[in-house]
Amino acid sequence: MLAGKTIVITGVASGIAHRCAELASEMGANVIGIDVVKPEKTIGTFIQGDLSTQAGVSAILDALPENIDALCNVAGVSGIAGANITLAINFFGLKNLSEGAALKMRPGGSIINVASMAGFGWRDNTERASAIARIDGFPDIDKVIKDFDIPNQLGYPISKEILLVWNKIASQQKQFKDKGIRINAVSPGPVETPILAQFRQVLGEEKASKDINRVGRAGTPDDIAPVILFLCSDAAKWVNGNNISTDGGLEAAETVEKLNL
């Protein structure tokens, strides 16, 4: 399904992104991987880059070729280092990279944002999430944190709430729609990746264990990567502005409980 496509994948050194790169390459894609650290095994072309600053994003964009078919925004941090770096990488770096990459993307391209079940509360926080999602450029993030009263320990779930709201907003924005670029999200639940232990610290051991127990097991990169790559493919050419919960049924469980269905 991906033969001949050029697919850019962030966070490629490990976890879900690394598995995406492996599968995409096996399916015939030309892979361009991006990460702040060099992977042990390079798949396709590798660009070392930092999403946490405007300068870092600009350097990545300068290194990207023309005629990209898809951008998979998989890179992210757990929130353990605080709200500033978490918002920088999980949202503002992602957003600025997407806007810049769109200029180098073929018409009919695809952007896939890896969100999280941790962003489930976006519907309860739409005013805050929408206001932050509409901030142009790479702002003073400490000021954003202060202006919107973001607790340091909640940087991760709030970053994913903002991302899920932006995912819908961006799918309707002229800069993407004029080129027919589709924008979708994938929201995993707990996944066995190198930073799962950090998520347990950030979200709480009780919450993490409860979520895993509700669906029977933690996910794996093999559970998530095929869904991301489906959204890269022409098979998903009529899918836009959506979020696919790839979580073993965790969102359904949360919804049934919250709405007393």
Q: How, if at all, do strands 243-246 and 6-10 pair?
A: unpaired
Structure-token match 């669906």, residue found: 215
Residues in CB range of 81: below 8 A, 6 or more apart: none
Q: How far apart are CA 48 and CA 5, in angstroms?
A: 21
Strand extents, DSSP E, the chain: 6-10, 30-35, 45-48, 68-73, 105-114, 182-188, 243-246
Structure-token match 């093999």, residue found: 222
Which is catalytic among the residues 92, 120, 138, 156? 156
* Secondary structure (3-state) at 26: helix
Q: How far apart are CA 75 and CA 12, in angstroms?
A: 7
Is residue 111 within 8 Å of 101, Cβ to Cβ?
A: yes
Amino acid 50 reads D
* Rounded alpha-carbon distances, angstroms, from residue 261 to 119, 212, 244: 21, 21, 21
Does 156 participate in catalysis according to the annotation? yes
Is residue 153 within 8 Å of 202, Cβ to Cβ?
A: yes
* Secondary structure (3-state) at 250: helix
In 10 A of CB 151, how many CB atoms? 9
Catalytic residues: 156
